[in-house]
Structures are given as C-alpha cells and as structure tokens.
C-alpha cells in the first residue's frame, strides 16, 4: 500500500471507464479536482471504441485510448504500458480493468476494494455505494488518493459536427407540434422495454406514432 502520492511523480494520468456512456459522463466529476491537484499532468481516458465520444471533447482530456470488447487483454495492456502512466484511476474496477491496471506499469494504482480485485491497486477506496448519487461514488477514489474535491461538475460537450446535425434536424421540424424524443435502448434487460410497451407509453402520452430513426 502507498500512503501518499508524490505530486512531482505525476506526469500522465489514466482514467479507466470502458463503457456505459452515461457512466462515463458521470465520471467526469473527478476531472476538475484532478486538474487542480496536477495542473501540469496530461489526463487520458481508456474506453471501448463505441463510447469514446462521451469524453473525447472534454477540455481536460487530452487523449482517449480505445479498444474493442473482443480485443485481448495483452493488446490492451500493451497500449496502456506504451503511454507510461504514473497514476491510474480504475473507475470501473471489474476483473478485466483490474488486470489492465495491475499490468499497466503505473506507480500509483487507484481502485475500489471489490472482492478478488484488491491485488491490482495500491490505493484502495471503499467498495460501498453509500447514500449518494452514483456520480459521487467516483469521488471516493479521489478521497482515497488524498486529492481534495474542489467541485462536483459533470461535463459533456458536443463537437461542432454534432451541433450542426442537431440544428439542421430541428430546423426541419414542424414548429406547430411538440417533439418528444424516445431512446428505447439500454445495456441491460432491466433498462429496456419491449416494443409493445413503448407503444403503450406513446399512446398514454397521446403522441402520434410518427417515428424517425436516427
């Protein structure tokens, strides 16, 4: 275990949050505090390829390293070791990200003390969720590392191409009608409804079944 991070050691920081676009955005709650404590360090993210845009436009993130779910552990670790990170925050702390963190070569490795994964970290945060929002669970890693929490800002910034698409889409909508967006996807069964349930919801809201798929 490491009692304290030596700030002069920190040149490059990696935040690991592979998937869950909403979860990745919520994890940006740590970035202002990281930047405040290590203003000269680069901050990178490791995500799966499909999720990179959740954080790639954040002004404090200088690089996003990506991989595909089918990629081997060896290939991912190779990418990470090449960057020579000094400090890693495993914001996911599942078995695979624990292995990535352990083999990363980083001097300081911060993660949650989940059973079977504590070997990977030399700075550990309590694994309990507590009575707070899931975004704030990320802050437990900062506290374990002795990094002051200066604020709890969460940021998602659209790039210019996405903004142009949104403005163009909005311009072509009949302004005499309401526009309701429905996103029927979800990562787990508990987050998804079958099509007939969505039809019930739309009818309950007294909406037209005039769908546009994006």
β-strand partners of 15: 45, 89
Which strands make up the sheet holding 63-67, listed edge to edge? Answer: 63-67, 42-48, 12-16, 87-90, 108-112, 123-125
**Tokens representing 119?**
């070997």
Using alpha carbons, list the distances in angstroms from residue 130 to 108, 117, 133, 151. 25, 20, 8, 19
Residue from 74, 78, 79 nearest 64 by CA: 79
CATH topology of domain 7-144: Rossmann fold (3.40.50)
The per-residue pLDDT for range 155-183, each reduced to its tens digit, is: 999 889 999 998 888 887 766 666 777 77
- Angle of helix 73-83 versus helix 95-102 axis, rounded to 10: 40
The pTM is what? 0.85
Q: pLDDT, tens digit, for every residue of 1-29?
A: 787 899 999 999 999 999 999 999 999 99
Report the alpha-carbon distance of residue 68 to residue 35 in Å, rounded. Answer: 28
Residue 189: per-residue pLDDT: 76
Determine the 3-state secondary structure of 132 from DSSP. Answer: coil
| Delimiting residues of CATH 3.40.50.2000 domain(s) in the chain | 7-144
Residue-level pLDDT at 211: 52
pLDDT digits (tens, 9 = 90+) for 38-85: 999 999 999 999 999 999 999 999 999 999 999 999 999 999 999 999
Q: Which residue has the higher pLDDT, 120 or 209?
A: 120
DSSP conformation letters of 32-48? HHHHHH-TTSEEEEEEE
User: Which residue has tokens 């979800």?
Assistant: 186
Higher-confidence residue: 159 or 190?
A: 159
Longest alpha-carbon distance in the chain: 63
Q: Tell me the pLDDT band of 208, cut-offs 50, 70 and 90.
A: low
């Amino acid at each position: 275990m490491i009692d304290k991070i030596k700030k002069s050691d920190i040149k490059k920081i990696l935040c690991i949050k592979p998937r869950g676009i909403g979860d990745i955005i919520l994890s940006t709650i740590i970035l202002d505090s990281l930047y405040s404590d290590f203003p000269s360090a680069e901050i990178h993210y490791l995500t799966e390829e499909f999720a990179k845009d959740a954080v790639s436009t954040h002004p404090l993130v200088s690089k996003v390293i990506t991989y595909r779910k089918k990629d081997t552990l060896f290939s991912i670790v190779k990418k990470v070791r090449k960057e020579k990170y000094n400090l890693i925050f495993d914001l996911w702390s599942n078995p695979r990200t624990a292995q990535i963190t352990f083999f990363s070569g980083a001097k300081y490795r911060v993660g949650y003390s989940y059973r079977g994964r504590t070997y990977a970290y030399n700075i550990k945060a309590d694994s309990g969720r507590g009575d707070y929002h899931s975004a704030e669970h990320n802050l437990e890693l900062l506290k374990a590392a002795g990094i002051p929490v200066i604020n709890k800002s969460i940021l998602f910034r659209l790039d210019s191409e996405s903004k142009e698409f949104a403005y163009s889409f909005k311009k072509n909508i009949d302004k005499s009608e309401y526009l309701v967006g429905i996103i029927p996807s979800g990562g787990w069964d508990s987050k998804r409804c079958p099509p007939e349930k969505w039809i019930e919801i739309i009818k309950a809201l007294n909406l037209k079944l005039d769908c546009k798929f994006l």
